[in-house]
Amino acid sequence: MKNNQLQNLKLLSYDELVKRKKTATGAIIGLGIVVVFAAIVGIYIALSKKQYALVAVTLSIPLSILPVAIVLGNINKELKLRNSTNNNQNL
């Protein structure tokens, strides 16, 4: 699946890649804020109800951002590849 996603990124124009990068960055920021808030509330509830197992579950919530971070990393790789290719052609 990773190769398929990278091939799809190669088909996009530079402007579309930049747009996807901005979208992914916004998604990470938005989800990050929500996840931090949910984690704080979850830990507070777990500790106030003395259900310590819930703390472990609450600490796993940030893993929900991982897929978006992977996509953003792939987009950044493709943009760097295109920038280096353009720089080599200009020399």
Q: State yes or no: pLDDT of 49 exceeds 70.
A: yes
How large is the average pLDDT for residues 37-45?
92
Q: Which among 52-56, 66-70, 83-87 has the top mean pLDDT? A: 66-70
Q: What angle do CA 37, 42, 43 make, to 5 degrees?
A: 100
Q: Is the pLDDT of residue 30 over 80?
A: yes
**Contact predicate 68/26, CB 8 Å:** no
Per-residue pLDDT for 59 more than 80?
yes
The rounded distance, in Å, linking the Cα atoms of 68 and 25 is 8
Would the pLDDT of 71 be above 90?
Answer: yes
Give the global pTM: 0.78
13/82 Cα distance (integer angstroms): 10
